């Protein structure tokens, strides 16, 4: 049984006597043999404040001492106050929220339910390469067939997927300077020919995370906003990965000057990895009844304590300003790696959310080299990184916790460069 558990917990299925990670400290993970690793992936992109931020730890411990669960039929000040604090920080058109999820997947399901119930319409537009979750339905609306393959119910008759704004590998074989933004222009064709004629919403990640850190070109969100407004389609920003400061803004949609009608948050919302999710939306969309969408551990008091403390840290300190400033430096350091390493085909990102596209000399994706770089970084340079598309992609993601200092960023890029050199030398 333990061998099976280990395989689930580790891609490389280590031997039973292999060193184990026993402690996290700030942006570091520490093994029982004393080795210290820099976590440049922020866990599963869900540790904006690192592993053990004292204010979050304190808030969680204090809440556990009082109670860890209350039935939703019992009144508590925790839920409404936490939701109010979150909404206060949200873009001005957002005035309401639903707080009954623990994961990004079900938060996205909730957002689609809101769009469908409020509009009376059915279809959901989403993008190739998108990742909106692991439930059957969110797998159905995500843009990857490899995750649907063996699960016949992971399909939705109302899902319409369209080419992503992926300029490095444009679906239309065009270039940003002259394409006229065909990835938006052609949506009209999908509405006309591929939909049921009843489109409720479009769900988009501000930066496509799992798909490969794909940053839409300037003007993309303004163009889809215009198109959605003209067609009475609600916009959902899936900020599960990009929200809570990752881009240097509390909400990633703010970074793109985009005002979606619904925003989903999870991952970073719990600060140090405490699971919690939220769905925020315009007041007119407050249509759900409690039986429509609710889970036993929704609005869990421990999760809300972590979220409230996380918001306080992000609001009161210099964290977001640091991410905006240092993020520019991180981009410059990674850009310099592209000059040095022939296998890097593109460098893109914002704040503390960057990706390096690893290409073959002919420009095609080099998936095996991508995986080799990630393995070399961990095995020889004590640097934890993650790849894209569950190992099917060719992007190395660099996403340190938001508390990483300028010095930490330099360390990460130096170690990453050494790992790439190792792999390039090996052929």
Ligand X SMILES: Cc1ncc(COP(=O)(O)O)c(C=O)c1O
Q: Which stretch binds ligand X (CB under 6 A): 131-139, 181-189, 330-338, 412-420?
A: 131-139
Contact 38, 379 (CB under 8 A): no
Using CB under 6 A, which of 224, 266, 396, 398 touches ligand X?
Answer: 266
Residue 87 and residue 283: Cα distance in Å, rounded? 11
Residue 165 and residue 290: Cα distance in Å, rounded? 36
Residue 239 exposed, middle or buried by CB count within 10 Å (0-12, 13-18, 19+)? buried
Q: Which stretch binds ligand X (CB under 6 A): 86-94, 202-210, 314-322, 399-407?
A: 202-210
3-state SS class at 113: helix
Is 116 an interacting residue with respect to ligand X (CB under 6 A)?
Answer: no
Q: Which stretch binds ligand X (CB under 6 A): 30-38, 184-192, 234-242, 285-293?
A: 234-242
Q: Least distance (Å) from ligand X to the CB of residue 35?
A: 27
Is 421 an interacting residue with respect to ligand X (CB under 6 A)?
Answer: no
Q: Which stretch binds ligand X (CB under 6 A): 48-56, 84-92, 237-245, 391-399?
A: 237-245
Nearest to 28 by CA among 352, 267, 382: 382
Residue 274 and residue 297: Cα distance in Å, rounded? 12
Is 213 an interacting residue with respect to ligand X (CB under 6 A)?
Answer: no
Write phi, then psi, for 79 (nearest 5 degrees): -65, -60
Q: Which stretch binds ligand X (CB under 6 A): 128-136, 279-287, 333-341, 366-374?
A: 128-136
Residue carrying structure tokens 């304590």: 305
Residue 323 and residue 29: Cα distance in Å, rounded? 21
Q: Least distance (Å) from ligand X to the CB of residue 101?
A: 9
Q: Least distance (Å) from ligand X to the CB of residue 77?
A: 26
Nearest to 378 by CA among 48, 26, 29: 29
Is 103 an interacting residue with respect to ligand X (CB under 6 A)?
Answer: yes
Instruction: Write out the DSSP string of 238-283.
Output: E-TTTTTTTTSSSSHHHHTT---SEEEE-GGGGTTT---EEEEE-G
Is 241 an interacting residue with respect to ligand X (CB under 6 A)?
Answer: yes
Question: Which residue is closest to ligand X by CB?
Answer: 104
Residue 331 and residue 417: Cα distance in Å, rounded? 14
Is 133 an interacting residue with respect to ligand X (CB under 6 A)?
Answer: yes
| Count of residues engaged in binding ligand X, rule: CB under 6 A | 16
Q: Which stretch binds ligand X (CB under 6 A): 203-211, 253-261, 291-299, 329-337?
A: 203-211
What residues from 134 to 193 belong to the interface with ligand X (CB under 6 A)?
Answer: 134
Is 253 an interacting residue with respect to ligand X (CB under 6 A)?
Answer: no
E strands present in 156-209: 159-162, 199-204
Nearer residue to ligand X within complex by CB, 141 or 234: 141
Is 209 an interacting residue with respect to ligand X (CB under 6 A)?
Answer: yes
Is 104 an interacting residue with respect to ligand X (CB under 6 A)?
Answer: yes
* Interface contacts to ligand X, rule CB under 6 A: 103-105, 108, 131-134, 205, 209-210, 238, 240-241, 266-267
């Amino acid at each position: 049984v333990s061998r099976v558990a280990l395989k689930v917990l580790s891609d490389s299925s280590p031997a039973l006597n292999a060193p184990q990670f026993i402690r996290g400290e700030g942006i570091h993970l520490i093994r029982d043999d004393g080795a210290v690793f820099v976590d440049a992936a922020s866990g599963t992109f869900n540790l904006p404040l690192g592993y053990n931020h004292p204010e979050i730890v304190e808030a969680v411990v204090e809440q556990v001492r009082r109670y860890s669960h209350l039935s939703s039929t019992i009144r508590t000040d925790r839920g409404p106050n936490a939701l109010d604090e979150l909404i206060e920080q949200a873009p001005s058109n957002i005035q309401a929220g639903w707080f009954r999820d623990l994961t990004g997947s079900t938060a996205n399901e909730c957002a689609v339910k809101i769009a469908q119930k409020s509009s009376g319409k059915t279809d959901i537009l989403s993008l190739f390469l998108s990742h909106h979750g692991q439930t059957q339905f969110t797998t159905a609306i995500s843009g990857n067939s490899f995750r649907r393959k063996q699960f016949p119910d992971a399909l939705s008759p109302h899902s319409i997927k369209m080419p992503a704004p992926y300029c490095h590998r444009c679906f239309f074989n065009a270039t940003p300077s002259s394409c006229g933004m065909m990835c938006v222009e052609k949506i009209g064709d999908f509405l006309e020919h591929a939909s049921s004629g009843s489109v409720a919403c479009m769900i988009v990640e501000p930066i496509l995370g799992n798909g490969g850190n794909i940053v839409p070109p300037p003007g993309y969100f303004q163009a889809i906003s215009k198109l959605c407004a003209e067609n009475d389609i609600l916009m959902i920003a899936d900020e599960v990965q990009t929200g809570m400061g990752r881009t240097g803004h509390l909400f990633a949609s703010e970074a793109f000057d985009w005002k979606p009608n619904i925003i989903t948050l999870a991952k970073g919302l719990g600060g140090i990895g405490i699971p919690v999710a939220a769905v925020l939306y315009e007041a007119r969309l407050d249509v759900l009844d409690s039986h429509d969408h609710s889970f036993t551990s929704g609005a869990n008091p421990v999760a809300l304590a972590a979220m409230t403390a996380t918001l306080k840290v992000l609001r009161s300190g210099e964290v977001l300003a640091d991410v905006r400033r240092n993020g520019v430096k991180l981009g410059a350091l990674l850009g310099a790696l592209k000059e040095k390493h022939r296998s890097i085909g593109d460098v893109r990102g914002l704040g503390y959310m960057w990706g390096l596209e690893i290409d073959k000399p002919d420009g095609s994706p080099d998936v095996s080299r991508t995986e080799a770089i990630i393995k070399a970084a961990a095995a020889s340079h004590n640097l934890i990184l993650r790849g894209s598309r569950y190992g099917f992609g060719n992007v190395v993601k660099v996403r340190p916790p938001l508390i990483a200092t300028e010095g930490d960023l330099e360390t990460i890029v130096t170690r990453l460069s050494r790992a790439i050199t190792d792999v390039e030398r090996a052929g």
